[in-house]
Amino acid sequence: MASPRPKLGLFHTTGFASLEDIAEKGLDPSAGGGLFRHGGYGHRSAGKVFLAEGRDAALGWYGKIEDMLADRVSDDHDAADVVPVLLQVTPQRGLKLHVDDVGAVDVLGAGSWYAEQAIPPRMISFWNPTIGDWNSIENWSTAEADDGVKEVEFFDENGDPTDEENAESAAFYTFGPYDSGGFKPDMNDEDAWDEDLT
């Protein structure tokens, strides 16, 4: 009997600060567990690269990674520390994928997979908001972390607009998984998701 294979597009979410390293080395399973060093995922994630199958699973994991990036930064962070970026992985011959039953339960969508080998840069693209399309990971420097930060209007106690410097919070507000904008396609952009791998 043949091994199961994903039928929809495969995606991985990372932080903007990791793009340069991924462009050079690809997705490295030895780096697995970087965001998951605590809780139930810690022991499962080392030595694996996780991939979400299809739009719904990809957006679910995008939201989880966005939350984890925000939780682990200090007060003096910059946008590169908190902005999530969606990567698209186009599997090529030799990439062996395994079903991730636990990950598939944690988010809605078609499923979750993992690889125990490196995924080379040639298989990886990122959603580049400056061009509104997928772009080879080698072109990561054509985008800036601030492309993933919302412009938020702040108001004072009288309800009048004020600048961010004088607002109570100077936090970065990134685009959530279901917002338009940021380093991921609009959820309704069928062409961008191109989900058929069969």
Percent of the chain with pLDDT over 90: 51
Q: For all residues of the chain together, what is the average pLDDT?
A: 83
Q: What is the pLDDT of residues 63-97, one digit of tens each?
A: 999 998 988 776 667 888 899 999 999 988 889 99
Instruction: Please give the Cα distance from 136 to 27 (Å, whole number).
Output: 14
3-state secondary structure of 29: helix
For the record, the structure tokens of 170 come out as 């100077």
Percent of the chain with pLDDT over 70: 75
Q: How many CB atoms lie under 10 A from the CB of residue 50?
A: 22
DSSP code for 130: T
Residue located via tokens 């990372």: 14
Q: What is the pLDDT of residue 168?
A: 47
pTM, entire model: 0.84
Instruction: Please give the Cα distance from 86 to 72 (Å, whole number).
Output: 19
Q: What is the pLDDT of residue 172?
A: 67
Higher pLDDT, 197 or 80: 80
Instruction: Please give the Cα distance from 143 to 115 (Å, whole number).
Output: 27
3-state secondary structure of 48: coil
- 23 with 85: CB under 8 angstroms? no
Q: What is the pLDDT of residue 61?
A: 92
Q: What is the pLDDT of residues 115-172, one digit of tens each?
A: 999 999 999 999 999 999 999 999 999 999 999 988 766 666 676 766 655 544 445 6
Q: What is the pLDDT of residue 2?
A: 52
Q: What is the pLDDT of residue 77?
A: 73
For the record, the structure tokens of 27 come out as 């997705």
